[in-house]
Amino acid sequence: MLIDTHAHYDDSRFDNDRDELLQSLKSKGIAYVVNASSNVSSNAMSISLSRKFDFIFASVGIHPHDSSDFNDEVLDMLRSLSSNEKVVAIGEIGLDYYYDNVPREIQKSCFAKQIRLARQLDLPIIIHDRDAHEDTLKIIRDEHASEVGGVMHAYSGSVEMARELLKLNFYFGIGGVCTFKNAKKVVEVIKYLPMERIVLETDCPYLTPEPFRGRRNDSGYLVYIAEKIAQIKNMDVEEVAHITSQNAIRLFNLPV
Ligand SMILES: [Zn+2]
């Protein structure tokens, strides 16, 4: 049993075969999927997928790329969506200084306001941090995000930053990048992290693991990530599957 803690099945790349693909996931050993939202329309789509499929859960939030659309009305929408029992987190939220699509001050304020919402609702957060490690850590601290905790999705920071984030009650989402040939940094992080803080994710349709890099990703490829972690940690893949699933259940308060 594996749990995909970060997927985007609302993406248009699944339009032709979404239902068929989702229906096939249980037979591929996938127990649960958390569909991460990024903008107003994907929030609605995540909720409707979670209603249609018992094993799909939703996170609601506005991605840094879409933070220019964030306002009080959107905040109220997120609050009302999160009353749905299948909503397990606020995300994905955070900062993206790699693409820098939106002025940084706007990204920061959108991130901070959604952390406040998560604290009001007592929901964990799913963080997107690309090339913004310092400001991400600062906002996590300033907004007391450790009260709710959450996961650093597609973690790309250093071992030193991971040490700080462990103290702040965070989990680490490990995906396809750890299978790539140039993945030295994330491999070091995986070696360092306690197994109790690692969760698996695909970020599908993106970041397909080797040996399938370049294809469209889906939760069926999660096992390749578990195998890579097993290899790095010198463990059985079954053990990696079991521990990471228990972690995801604890993090998102999923049914046992
Ligand atoms: Zn994502």
Residue pair 130/156 in contact (Cβ under 8 Å)? The answer is yes
- CA–centroid distance, 96 to ligand 1, in Å, is 12
- CA–centroid distance, 92 to ligand 1, in Å, is 7
DSSP, residue by residue, 34-58:
EEEP-SHHHHHHHHHHHHH-TTEEE
- CA–centroid distance, 196 to ligand 1, in Å, is 22
The values of phi and psi at residue 189, to 5°, are -65, -45
- CA–centroid distance, 71 to ligand 1, in Å, is 21
- CA–centroid distance, 14 to ligand 1, in Å, is 15
197-235 residues labelled b (16+ CB within 10 A) or e (exposed) = bbbbbbbbbbbbbbeeeeeebbbbbbbbbbebbbebbee
Residue pair 114/61 in contact (Cβ under 8 Å)? The answer is yes
- CA–centroid distance, 53 to ligand 1, in Å, is 20
Rounded to whole angstroms, the Cα distance separating 54 from 34 reads: 11
**pLDDT for residue 240:** 98
- CA–centroid distance, 6 to ligand 1, in Å, is 6
Q: Report helix angle 72-81 to 40-52, nearest 10.
A: 10
- CA–centroid distance, 7 to ligand 1, in Å, is 6
Burial of 245 (0-12, 13-18, 19+ CB in 10 A): buried
With tokens 């049993």, the residue in question is: 1
Tens digit of each residue's pLDDT (9 = 90 or more) over 198-241: 999 999 999 999 999 999 999 999 999 999 999 999 999 999 99
- CA–centroid distance, 117 to ligand 1, in Å, is 20
Question: Is the bond preceding residue 205 a cis peptide, omega within 30 degrees?
Answer: yes
**pLDDT for residue 93:** 98
- CA–centroid distance, 27 to ligand 1, in Å, is 24
| Mean of pLDDT values over 101-113 | 97
Tens digit of each residue's pLDDT (9 = 90 or more) over 58-77: 999 999 999 999 999 999 99
- CA–centroid distance, 37 to ligand 1, in Å, is 8
| Mean of pLDDT values over 39-48 | 96
| Mean of pLDDT values over 135-151 | 98
| Mean of pLDDT values over 22-27 | 97
